[in-house]
Structure 1
Amino acid sequence: MSSTTAQSGLARARRGLAPGGSGGRPRNEDLNRKSKLSGQTTRTFFWLLLPSIVLVILINGYPLIYAAVQATHDGSLIDTGNFVGLDNFTSVLTSPAFWKAAQFTLLFTIVGVFGSWGVGLGLALLLRTKIPAGGAFKVLLLLPWVVPIVVSSTAWNWLVATPDSLIPSIFRNLGLGTPLFLADPHLAAVMVMVFKVWVSFPFMMMMTSAALASVDTTVYEAASMDGATKWQQFTQITLPMIARSTYISWILMTIFCVNDFPTIYLLTGGGPVDATTSLVVLAYRSVFQDFQTGHGVAIAFLMTLTLVIVSVFLYRQIRKSSVE
């Protein structure tokens, strides 16, 4: 039998656990009482939540409205300037620098999300097996995520920044030349993406480990008895069972990557020749270096709109997940 047999068994088990039988219908008095209690509970929750909702709206609403005002004016940090409507958005969308930054942001996000997820998933599966000192190994794997980004970026700069750094020296001693990892545009982009995967995979590992812990091991035993291979168990059981957690981690990591300023700025500053300039770095330069607040805020609004679209798409994938 194939692994689909195991899946059919899971589906039958889920149906078997559903409430069944031919119990009597509830009385009208019971239904009315439950409806009344439900309405009272809803009103109570509403009045309890209302102060928090108002506070959240005030805290987040004012910055959002002020940012919208800045995006439609040609001012600076200290002066709102004149109203220009959507000219800032038009200027940004017709700028080659914006599209170059958008292209790098897209590539950076794809590598960051799926690279860290792949490494995290592999390590999470490894940690499920019995390995010597598994607890200590897991703690060590968390260090790239726990260590402050300033410390990590300083360490990576020490490793690759100059021709006399450790890794270029190793390449040179092996007769492979002296690669300038942060001076060459292509190598710098690769290094930034690898660095992002390095600092992000522990988060993905923890998310995946938590999801795998909820998977009943008897499912794999049943699949093995049905003749399913390890690969079939992974693709037909493991991945579907952790699908919802996977989509949630993708949403979070997408937001982290698109909004990631320190990883890029501390390692390369967006250089060389803007090869590693992402949208958030471009927005920062526009506001705090070029003093074009309208352009920078317009970039931020476009980033937010993109993140909302991606998040909605992935959230729909969560709802479509067939595994409960």
Structure 2
Amino acid sequence: MTANSVADNLKRARRGVGMSGSGSGAPRPVRKSKRFGPRTWTLLAFALPSLVLLLLINLYPVIYAFIQSLHNGTLLDAGPFVGLHNYLNILTEPAFWKAAEFTLIFTIVGVFGSWIVGLLLSLLLRTYIPANNLFKVLLLLPWIVPVVVSATSWNWLVATPQSPLPILFAHLGFGNVLFLADPFLAQVVVCVFKVWISFPFMMMMMSSALAAVDTNVYEAAKVDGSSGFKTFRYITMPMIARTTFVSWILMTIFCVNDFPTIFLLTGGGPVNATQSLVVLAYLTVFQNFQTGPGIAIAFLMTLVLVIISVALYRQIRKVNIE
């Protein structure tokens, strides 16, 4: 069979004609089906109440909040219509950019710090450890315990000069260290606290991803003489990439929208050093009674979250394609 005949056969196959068959290659007529039959209308009728309820619960508050962000009012009165003035005014406020900077730091440390700790612990749990099940339960405690209890415990540890950690640092020769009174140290404490209460979630995500990896792949790599680091880099990480990106998306949303962690531990202080965007929005609405600017901050946060989520989701699609 010559090259030309092979090419002709491939063209005929693409047109739907067999290798040795004959015909015009025209597609068969497709029977048109009714898009909306009685069964479809019946299903829509049953689903309509749920759809209406879903729109009322989710869509209506969002639309109403967006309308409020275009007004300069309070919780009791919508106030006059100002258009996009609230958004433009917020973008020129130094307090907004300071809160945005800390939100960025808080999110980066919270996402990647908890991911690294969770991944290392999930790898450790795959090895033999005495009382392994008990160890897993203990590692879940920071996530299981209510954040109010955890924040109260951390306040007891670092808040006052009589707390255990300041006393320990004083004995080590560091002087009177006030963790929540110094702006930089307060940011460090808040970020570490976020990693502390978030790493169990990442540990569970990574453990489930590692459990799905076929052990035969590791055995083949071991036979080929691959080192532990190369196996982790070129086999483990690509195999758990999809779950990793999903966990990053979820943790980014958790960190940006995390109000109780910061508010219960520092209240946004000292001197607004730990004031994130969600805390700033809360204080603007419920303390300064400026509903329009506060809701505008929340919508700007939502826009940033959507952009980040879309970017990470595109990475997930690339992993699926590969």
Q: Shared topology, TM-score over 0.5? A: yes
Q: How does 1:101-112 map to 2 (within 5 A)?
A: 101-112=99-110
In the alignment, which residue of structure 1 is the partner of 2:114? Answer: 116
- Counterpart code for 2:275: T
Q: How does 1:31-46 map to 2 (within 5 A)?
A: none
For 2:42 and 2:219, the matched residues in 1 are separated by 48
For 1:249 and 1:323, the matched residues in 2 are separated by 19
Moved more, 171-180 or 51-60: 51-60
Which structure has the greater CA radius of gyration? 2
Q: Which runs of 5+ in 1 are unaligned?
A: 1-21, 23-27
Residue 319 of structure 1 deviates from its aligned partner by: 0.6
For 1:245 and 1:42, the matched residues in 2 are separated by 36
Per-residue CA deviations over 1:163-203 (Å, capped at 9, x if unaligned) read 11001101111222121100000000000000000000000
Per-residue CA deviations over 1:96-135 (Å, capped at 9, x if unaligned) read 0000000000000000000000000000000011111111
Q: CA RMSD in A?
A: 2.2
In the alignment, which residue of structure 2 is the partner of 1:164? Answer: 162
In the alignment, which residue of structure 2 is the partner of 1:18? Answer: none
In the alignment, which residue of structure 1 is the partner of 2:250? Answer: 252
Runs of at least 4 residues off by over 6 Å:
37-45
Per-residue CA deviations over 1:72-92 (Å, capped at 9, x if unaligned) read 001100000000001100110
In the alignment, which residue of structure 2 is the partner of 1:174? Answer: 172
For 1:65 and 1:283, the matched residues in 2 are separated by 18
For 1:236 and 1:206, the matched residues in 2 are separated by 22
In the alignment, which residue of structure 1 is the partner of 2:4? Answer: none
- Counterpart code for 1:261: F
In the alignment, which residue of structure 2 is the partner of 1:144? Answer: 142
In the alignment, which residue of structure 1 is the partner of 2:280? Answer: 282
- Counterpart code for 1:96: P
Residue 54 of structure 1 deviates from its aligned partner by: 3.0
State which of 84, 97, 100 in structure 2 corresponds to 1:99. 97
Q: How does 1:218-237 map to 2 (within 5 A)?
A: 218-237=216-235
Residue 56 of structure 1 deviates from its aligned partner by: 1.5
For 1:210 and 1:229, the matched residues in 2 are separated by 24
Residue 249 of structure 1 deviates from its aligned partner by: 0.5
TM-score, normalised by the number of residues in structure 2:
0.87
Residue 224 of structure 1 aligns to a residue whose secondary structure is: helix
Instruction: Provide the identity percentage.
Output: 67
Q: Which runs of 5+ in 2 are unaligned?
A: 1-17, 19-26
For 1:99 and 1:304, the matched residues in 2 are separated by 16
Q: How does 1:127-142 map to 2 (within 5 A)?
A: 127-142=125-140
Higher RCO structure, 1 or 2 (CA under 8 Å, sep 6+) = 1
